[in-house]
């Protein structure tokens, strides 16, 4: 950093101010307002007042614990699936991609230039009961006539996995790419088999990527509700759908706010436990890219 | 960090002296400020004050030539002209009055639509619609109670005065039709595709048949499905108590695995016409339009345990941009010829009894299939129910705002499952 | 190269484990085949979207292939609600991209270049803004607007889009700032340029790729956003909102066509961006 004079002392504050102000008013403040709302009571016609209404939190859990738990379970399953599916890809591209590494990455990311909602709508189309995939299979008799994928948990998990795989591939790739191949060679020189070289050299070195990938996959999946809304049926509703309905249709702002905070709390607890296990430095490393 | 220098005495002094550090003071102030802030936050109630409408309101209105009309799907006569769907009755209205109608099927269920317009109404602003169609049984009452609707000038509604049925004049939820006049009435029953179900459906109990597991859809607003299940249990929804609601909730949980998904109005139509759903909760007239729209096999049935009878009402939200155009349209549909045209197009219970004579006259002049179709309409108890038919219908439970929270707490988690 | 090897040079030269030749070749194929299959899997919905934009559907249901037609490309704007929604999305995206890029670049500069009191907290806010779930962002903004009785519509959508994109742009620009060689700016100052000129003529052009990348990111985030928008949109329809609603009744082929066009647009921008970068470097 070049030494600046007196004028320079103010510079960071000045240039950081507008953006900082925007974030303060439209990111930090809303969270505080939502916290306040979550402890209010009343109804939309007569107004809401702050009354330390902790029952909003207990009600939120009592009424919707199923959906909370379901969201976390789905998120765990999807994150695990994404990790399992993305790792071999990232590994191969990082180690054997050669000059065409960026091309492969580009091809993987290409479909995600299409709008998220359209992608999911396309899956609804592909998985349709009488669509061009299931239809012919049923005509030929390979599937029973009343078999359906839409409106099932499978469809929702499939959609979630599809939509969030790139979130897992990228950090894994970046971490694996940084692994010095000479490390692997060294392991081989020491008579390690391919498998144990992987297990004891490559995988541990890729952990920062695994951590980042799990983090940026688990959190959005747990709070997703688009996949469930488009591909799901009954018994697949996630907490996001509920929060949206309670806010917008029921206008029960305190209850909905309490639910949002419960979700956030659960995610934060998850993140920090995970960070403890893997080392807190990883947490900040994620934001520094 | 592990230097071996001797500890600076000043540092030692600093560390051992108690003091209110600046950070500590800031923290304290912050907490105080935060609590004050949290406590000061609140949300204003939405009810507008009961100030009566300015007496010169209607006198000062002029026709704008534009009408923004929000309605439910399948609720307007349709015809296909050159591949595009048009609404003949709206086109004729435009031809006669010069008012262009911006017609949108923006309402899928009462709660979510009200959720969309309430904020504007609360803030005293134009909600974006001049004419809306809202159901009784809670929703229209909410709008009236919060004073969100424009008072109607009945001198501008001569056709309503002349031609409306006594059933819709002066309803309990809007004495004197101060804010609303009926659009159509209808029933909530079941619709099914006999080719897929392989048998007749006659009762709400049929929904529990394991043969239909995963093939049933029900409305996902938290009013229609609970009400139907209540009727299935023999409870009258209009007089139901919290105990009844809890019983109904248990029954709904038992039925839930039978359902494929919870849908809205459009989703019901899609499920039945695509065959993804074999049976669905449905509104009585929707099936008529589905039949002529490419799914002739679907049938509507009144379950033997009973049906809910509702009335959808036209209303002008407060601060609408073109109220005069809206009220012009509201009166237009009470002309018998127009009412008859709507009956032909949507097959709901019309609020204009004279429409029946219109249809009979038309049937007299028609022949063959056209005549048969008209006679079917005239005979149908779904469109022209008799007194006896109406004696047994049930009504929605009209909830106060406190009761609504209890109701939501009981039923929303199941419908949102 | 491994220095360990020189001490314990094994008799064989090949580092690979001793397995029969044919099996080794076969197992070598697993990973690449898998990767290609995955690439295909990723592309499947896109191919479907593109292909069924040409489907000559007779009825409302666009389910089975019924023949090739360019109709939908011609009648792209036949559905007025869809066209309005698309237009809204584009306008909102442009406005929020401009605001976000300007503010975000400033944040990126401040964070990447200076040390100042409160930077730690600032960093934490940026990190939280990136990792906070969209659901919470949307819900909290709705809470704010409800409390302030601010009617939801166009303005609130833009506010929300800027709020959630700022941190991403800031981080992108900061990464670029951190990689800048301070010697260049010092040289300019040594040659008598005042800070503003230095910034305008040296720093900004050097930062340009990062700023452009940030801007593209902000645009993509805005035009595709569903979750946050669904909370704060009021009655305004944006493209993702409209499509979501349409999935209940059946997505019209026009959506496929628009999706295809947006996709091709995005690809073109990305490819040209990459080619430009390569040309700059080489």
Q: Please name which of A112, A16, A66 lies closest in space to residue A234, comparing C-alpha atoms.
A: A66
Asked whether residue C182 is domain-assigned, the answer is yes
Question: DSSP letter at C203?
Answer: I
Distance from B180 to chain A by nearest Cα, in Å? 20
Token digits for B132? Answer: 């809306």
Distance from B374 to chain C by nearest Cα, in Å? 26
Asked whether residue C39 is domain-assigned, the answer is no
Asked whether residue C55 is domain-assigned, the answer is no
Asked whether residue B223 is domain-assigned, the answer is yes
**Residue C282, Cβ density class (10 Å: 0-12 exposed, 13-18 middle, ≥19 buried):** exposed
Strongest mean pLDDT among A109-118, A156-165, C34-43 = A156-165
> What's B96-151 look like in SS3?
HHCCEEEEECCCCCHHHHHHHHHHHHHCCCCCCCCEEEEECCCHHHHHHHCCCECC
- CA end-to-end span of chain C, whole Å? 28
Report residue C91's pLDDT band, with 50, 70 and 90 as the boundaries: very high
Say how far apart CA B86 and CA A260 lie, in whole Å.
Answer: 44
Contacts (Cβ under 8 Å, ≥6 apart) of B307: B187, B188, B189, B231, B393, B394
Asked whether residue A208 is domain-assigned, the answer is yes
What average pLDDT score do residues A195-222 get?
Answer: 85
Q: Is the pLDDT of residue A260 over 80?
A: yes
Q: Is the pLDDT of residue A288 over 60?
A: no
Strongest mean pLDDT among A228-232, B158-162, B386-390 = B158-162
What average pLDDT score do residues A63-83 get?
Answer: 93
Contact status of C250 with chain B (Cβ, < 8 Å): yes
The partner residues of B187 in beta bridges, in order of sequence, read: B309
Asked whether residue C222 is domain-assigned, the answer is yes
Least confident of A110-124, A252-266, B394-408, C263-277: C263-277
Q: Residue C146 sits in a domain of what CATH number?
A: 1.10.3720.10
Residues B363 and B318 placed together within one structural domain of the fold = yes
Residue-level pLDDT at B97: 93
More confident: C173 or C62: C173
Angle between helices A239-248 and A203-223 (to 10 degrees): 30
Q: How are beta strands B308-315 and B132-135 bridged, if at all? A: antiparallel
Q: Please name which of C153, B47, B413, B358 lies closest in space to residue A48, comparing C-alpha atoms.
A: B47
Task: Report yes or no for ipTM above 0.90.
Answer: no
- Interface contact C223-A219, CB threshold 8 A: no
Distance from A198 to chain B by nearest Cα, in Å? 36
Angle between helices A101-109 and A55-96 (to 10 degrees): 150
Tens-place pLDDT, residues B237-246? 989 999 999 9
- Interface contact A186-C159, CB threshold 8 A: no
On chain A, the residues whose CB falls within 8 A of the CB of C16 are 188, 194
Distance from C125 to chain B by nearest Cα, in Å? 18
Q: Is the pLDDT of residue C80 over 80?
A: no
Residue-level pLDDT at A58: 92
Contact status of C248 with chain B (Cβ, < 8 Å): yes
Residues B302 and B213 placed together within one structural domain of the fold = yes
Nearest 5°: CA angle at B409, between B243 and A227?
A: 135
What average pLDDT score do residues B149-155 get?
Answer: 93
Percent of chain C predicted with pLDDT > 70: 86
Domain count, chain A: 1
Contact status of C247 with chain A (Cβ, < 8 Å): yes
**Residue B116, Cβ density class (10 Å: 0-12 exposed, 13-18 middle, ≥19 buried):** buried
Say how far apart CA A50 and CA A61 lie, in whole Å.
Answer: 20
**Residue B129, Cβ density class (10 Å: 0-12 exposed, 13-18 middle, ≥19 buried):** buried
Say how far apart CA A15 and CA A275 lie, in whole Å.
Answer: 33
Say how far apart CA B320 and CA B324 lie, in whole Å.
Answer: 10
Asked whether residue C276 is domain-assigned, the answer is no
Q: Residue B293 sits in a domain of what CATH number?
A: 3.40.190.10
By C-alpha distance, the chain B residue nearest C248 is B267
- Interface contact B276-A37, CB threshold 8 A: no
**Residue C8, Cβ density class (10 Å: 0-12 exposed, 13-18 middle, ≥19 buried):** exposed
Residue-level pLDDT at C1: 41
Token digits for B409? Answer: 């707490």
Residues B276 and B402 placed together within one structural domain of the fold = yes
Residue-level pLDDT at C3: 42
What integer best gives the mean pLDDT of chain A?
Answer: 84
More confident: C28 or B129: B129
Residues B405 and B266 placed together within one structural domain of the fold = yes
By C-alpha distance, the chain B residue nearest C234 is B116
Helix (H) or strand (E) holding C234: none
Residue-level pLDDT at A73: 93
Residue-level pLDDT at B1: 42
Name subunits touching A (3+ CB pairs < 8 A). Answer: B, C
More confident: A79 or C1: A79
pTM of the model: 0.82
Q: Is the pLDDT of residue A130 over 50?
A: yes
Asked whether residue B30 is domain-assigned, the answer is no
What average pLDDT score do residues C104-109 get?
Answer: 90
Domain count, chain C: 1
Nearest 5°: CA angle at B408, between B404 and B412?
A: 160
Q: Is the pLDDT of residue A120 over 80?
A: yes
Say how far apart CA A167 and CA A116 lie, in whole Å.
Answer: 13
Q: Is the pLDDT of residue B202 over 80?
A: yes
- Interface contact B47-A45, CB threshold 8 A: yes
Angle between helices C80-113 and C204-224 (to 10 degrees): 140
Name subunits touching B (3+ CB pairs < 8 A). Answer: A, C
Asked whether residue C103 is domain-assigned, the answer is yes
Residue-level pLDDT at C202: 83
Q: Is the pLDDT of residue C13 over 60?
A: no
Asked whether residue C233 is domain-assigned, the answer is yes
What average pLDDT score do residues B365-392 get?
Answer: 84
What average pLDDT score do residues B118-146 get?
Answer: 88
Which range marks the domain in which residue B361 is found? 60-186+310-378
Residue-level pLDDT at C148: 85
Say how far apart CA C15 and CA C2 lie, in whole Å.
Answer: 12
Percent of chain B predicted with pLDDT > 90: 44
Which range marks the domain in which residue A151 is found? 63-287
Q: Is the pLDDT of residue C12 over 70?
A: no
- Interface contact A45-B257, CB threshold 8 A: no
Distance from B156 to chain C by nearest Cα, in Å? 30
Tens-place pLDDT, residues A210-233? 888 888 899 999 999 999 988 988
Residue-level pLDDT at A285: 52
Residues B401 and B275 placed together within one structural domain of the fold = yes
Distance from B214 to chain A by nearest Cα, in Å? 9
Nearest 5°: CA angle at B268, between B265 and B269?
A: 95
On chain C, the residues whose CB falls within 8 A of the CB of B41 are 147
Q: Please name which of C182, C167, C168 lies closest in space to residue C113, comparing C-alpha atoms.
A: C182
What average pLDDT score do residues B358-362 get?
Answer: 90
Report residue C11's pLDDT band, with 50, 70 and 90 as the boundaries: very low
Asked whether residue B34 is domain-assigned, the answer is no
Residue-level pLDDT at B264: 87
Distance from B257 to chain A by nearest Cα, in Å? 8
Q: Is the pLDDT of residue A66 over 50?
A: yes
Q: Please tell me which of the candidates C17, C42, C43 has its beta carbon nearest to residue A194.
A: C17
Q: Please tell me which of the candidates C61, C147, C234 has its beta carbon nearest to residue B274.
A: C61
Nearest 5°: CA angle at B396, between B395 and B402?
A: 145
Query: Best interface-test mutation with B: which of A147, A153, A154, A234 has the largest number of B CBs within 10 A?
Result: A234
A85: left (phi over 0), alpha (psi -120 to 50) or beta: alpha
What average pLDDT score do residues A2-8 get?
Answer: 46
What average pLDDT score do residues B282-290 get?
Answer: 88
Residues B172 and B281 placed together within one structural domain of the fold = no
By C-alpha distance, the chain A residue nearest B411 is A63
Question: DSSP letter at A39?
Answer: T
Residues B91 and B179 placed together within one structural domain of the fold = yes
Asked whether residue A20 is domain-assigned, the answer is no
Q: How are beta strands A47-50 and A40-43 bridged, if at all? A: antiparallel
| Coil/strand/helix, residue B342 | helix
Q: Is the pLDDT of residue A193 over 90?
A: no
Task: State how far the alpha carbon of C257 is from the alpha carbons of B21, B277, B342, C48, in Å.
Answer: 64, 29, 35, 11
Q: Please name which of C141, C135, C142 lies closest in space to residue C163, comparing C-alpha atoms.
A: C141
Residue-level pLDDT at C9: 45
Residues B258 and B399 placed together within one structural domain of the fold = yes
Q: Is the pLDDT of residue B49 over 70?
A: no
Least confident of A204-218, B164-178, B336-350: A204-218
Residues B172 and B200 placed together within one structural domain of the fold = no
Report residue C14's pLDDT band, with 50, 70 and 90 as the boundaries: very low
- Interface contact A146-B40, CB threshold 8 A: no
Say how far apart CA B267 and CA B349 lie, in whole Å.
Answer: 23
Least confident of A136-150, B256-270, C103-117: A136-150
Strongest mean pLDDT among A217-221, C62-66, C255-259 = A217-221
Question: DSSP letter at B415?
Answer: H
Asked whether residue C125 is domain-assigned, the answer is yes
- Interface contact A129-B275, CB threshold 8 A: yes
Least confident of A66-70, B329-333, C116-120: C116-120
More confident: C10 or B94: B94
Residue-level pLDDT at B18: 54
Helix residue ranges per DSSP H, B2-104: 9-16, 22-40, 88-97
What average pLDDT score do residues A187-197 get?
Answer: 79
Residue-level pLDDT at C62: 62
Contact status of C44 with chain A (Cβ, < 8 Å): yes
Contact status of C180 with chain A (Cβ, < 8 Å): no
Q: Please tell me which of the candidates B34, B261, B412 has its beta carbon nearest to residue A234.
A: B261
What integer best gives the mean pLDDT of chain B?
Answer: 86
- Contact between A28 and C125 (Cβ < 8 Å): yes
Q: Residue A183 sits in a domain of what CATH number?
A: 1.10.3720.10
Distance from B42 to chain C by nearest Cα, in Å? 6
Least confident of A12-26, A193-207, C140-154: A193-207
Domain count, chain B: 2
Query: Best interface-test mutation with B: which of C60, C74, C230 has the largest number of B CBs within 10 A?
Result: C60
More confident: A69 or C130: A69
Least confident of A178-187, B16-25, B59-68, B232-241: B16-25
- Interface contact B127-C59, CB threshold 8 A: no
Asked whether residue A222 is domain-assigned, the answer is yes
On chain A, the residues whose CB falls within 8 A of the CB of C37 are none
The partner residues of B216 in beta bridges, in order of sequence, read: B259, B279
- Contact between B54 and B311 (Cβ < 8 Å): no
Q: Is the pLDDT of residue C18 over 50?
A: no
The residue length of chain B stands at 417
Residue with tokens 């929702």: A156
């Amino acid at each position: 950093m070049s030494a600046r004079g007196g004028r320079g002392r103010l510079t960071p504050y000045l240039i950081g101010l507008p953006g900082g102000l925007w974030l303060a008013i439209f990111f930090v403040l809303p969270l505080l307002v939502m916290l306040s709302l979550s402890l209010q009571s009343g109804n939309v016609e007569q107004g809401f007042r702050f009354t330390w209404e902790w029952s909003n939190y207990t009600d939120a859990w009592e009424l919707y614990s199923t959906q909370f738990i379901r969201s976390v379970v789905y998120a765990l399953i999807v994150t695990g699936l994404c990790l399992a599916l993305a790792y071999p890809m990232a590994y191969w591209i990082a180690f054997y991609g050669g000059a065409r590494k960026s091309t492969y990455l580009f091809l993987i990311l290409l479909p995600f230039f299409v709008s998220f909602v359209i992608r999911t709508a396309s899956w609804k189309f592909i998985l349709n009961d009488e669509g061009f995939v299931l239809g012919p299979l049923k005509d030929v008799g390979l599937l029973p006539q009343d078999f359906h994928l839409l409106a099932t948990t499978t469809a929702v998990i499939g959609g979630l996995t599809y939509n969030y795989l790139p979130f897992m591939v990228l950090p894994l790739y970046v971490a694996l790419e940084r692994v010095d191949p000479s490390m692997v060679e060294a392991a081989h020189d020491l008579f390690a088999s391919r498998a144990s070289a992987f297990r004891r050299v490559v995988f541990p070195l890729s952990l920062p990527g695994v951590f980042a990938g799990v983090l940026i996959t688990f959190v959005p999946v747990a709070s997703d509700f688009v996949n469930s809304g488009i591909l799901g049926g009954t018994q697949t509703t996630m907490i996001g759908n509920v929060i949206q309905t309670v806010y917008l249709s029921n206008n029960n702002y305190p209850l909905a706010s309490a639910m949002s905070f419960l979700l956030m709390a659960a995610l934060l607890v998850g993140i920090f436990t995970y960070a403890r296990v893997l080392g807190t430095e990883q947490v900040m490393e994620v934001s520094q890219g | 960090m592990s230097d071996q220098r001797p500890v600076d005495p000043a540092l030692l002094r600093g560390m051992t002296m108690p003091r209110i550090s600046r950070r500590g003071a800031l923290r304290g102030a912050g907490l105080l400020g935060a609590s004050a802030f949290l406590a000061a936050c609140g949300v204003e109630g939405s009810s507008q004050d009961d100030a009566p409408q300015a007496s010169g309101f209607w006198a000062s209105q002029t026709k704008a030539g534009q009408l923004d009309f929000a309605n439910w799907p399948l609720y307007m006569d349709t015809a296909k002209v050159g591949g595009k769907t048009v609404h003949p009755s709206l086109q004729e209205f435009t031809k006669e009055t010069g008012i262009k109608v911006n017609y949108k099927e923006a309402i899928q269920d009462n709660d979510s639509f009200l959720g969309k317009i309430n904020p504007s109404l609360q803030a005293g602003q134009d909600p974006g619609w001049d004419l809306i169609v809202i159901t009784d049984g809670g929703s229209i009452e909410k709008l009236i109670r919060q004073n969100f609707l424009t008072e109607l000038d009945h001198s501008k509604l001569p056709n309503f005065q002349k031609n409306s049925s006594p059933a819709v004049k002066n309803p309990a939820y809007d004495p004197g039709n101060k804010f609303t006049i009926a659009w159509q009435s209808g029933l909530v029953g079941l619709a099914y595709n006999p080719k897929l179900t392989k048998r007749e459906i006659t009762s709400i109990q049929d929904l529990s048949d394991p043969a239909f597991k995963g093939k049933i859809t029900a409305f996902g607003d938290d009013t229609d499905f609970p009400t139907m299940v209540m009727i299935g249990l023999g409870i009258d929804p209009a007089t139901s108590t919290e105990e009844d609601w809890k019983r109904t909730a248990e029954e709904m949980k038992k039925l839930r695995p039978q359902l494929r998904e919870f849908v809205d109005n459009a989703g019901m139509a899609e499920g039945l016409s695509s065959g993804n759903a074999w049976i669905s909760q449905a509104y009585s007239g929707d099936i008529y339009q589905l039949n002529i729209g490419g799914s002739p096999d679907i049938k509507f049935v009144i379950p033997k345990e009973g049906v809910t009878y509702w009335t959808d009402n036209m209303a002008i939200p407060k601060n609408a941009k073109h109220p005069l155009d809206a009220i012009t349209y509201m009166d237009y549909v009470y002309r018998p010829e127009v009412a008859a045209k709507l009956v032909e197009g949507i097959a709901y219970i019309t609020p204009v009894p004279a429409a029946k004579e219109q249809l009979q006259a038309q049937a007299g002049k028609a022949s063959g299939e056209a005549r048969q179709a008209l006679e079917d309409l005239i005979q149908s108890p779904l469109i022209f129910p008799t007194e006896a038919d109406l004696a047994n219908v049930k009504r929605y439970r009209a909830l106060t705002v406190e009761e609504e929270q209890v109701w939501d707490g009981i039923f929303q988690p199941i419908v949102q499952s | 190269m491994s220095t360990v090897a020189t001490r314990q040079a094994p008799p064989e030269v090949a580092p690979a484990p001793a397995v029969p030749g044919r099996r080794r070749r076969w197992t070598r194929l697993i990973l690449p085949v898998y990767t290609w299959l995955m690439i295909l899997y990723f592309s499947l919905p896109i191919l479907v979207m593109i292909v069924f934009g040409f489907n000559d559907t007779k009825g409302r249901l666009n389910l089975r292939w019924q023949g090739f037609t360019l109709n939908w490309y011609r009648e792209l704007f036949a559905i007025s609600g869809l066209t309005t929604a698309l237009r809204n999305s584009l306008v909102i995206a442009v406005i929020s991209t401009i605001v976000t890029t300007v503010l975000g670049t400033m944040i990126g500069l401040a964070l990447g270049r200076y040390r100042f009191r409160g930077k730690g907290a600032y960093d934490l806010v940026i990190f939280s803004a990136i990792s906070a779930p969209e659901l919470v962002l949307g819900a909290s903004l709705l809470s704010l607007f409800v409390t302030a009785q601010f009617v939801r519509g166009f303005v609130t959508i833009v506010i929300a889009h800027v709020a959630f994109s700022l941190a991403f742009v800031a981080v992108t620009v900061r990464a670029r700032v951190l990689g800048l060689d301070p010697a260049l700016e010092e040289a300019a100052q040594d040659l008598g340029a005042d800070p503003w000129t230095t910034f305008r003529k040296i720093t900004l052009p050097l930062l340009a790729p990062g700023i452009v990348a940030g801007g593209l990111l902000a645009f993509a985030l805005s035009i595709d956003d569903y979750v946050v928008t669904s909370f704060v949109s009021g009655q305004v329809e944006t493209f993702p909102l409209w499509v979501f609603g349409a999935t209940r009744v059946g997505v019209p082929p026009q959506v496929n066509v628009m999706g295809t066009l947006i996709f091709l647009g995005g690809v073109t921008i990305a490819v040209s961006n990459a080619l430009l970068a390569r040309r700059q470097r080489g």
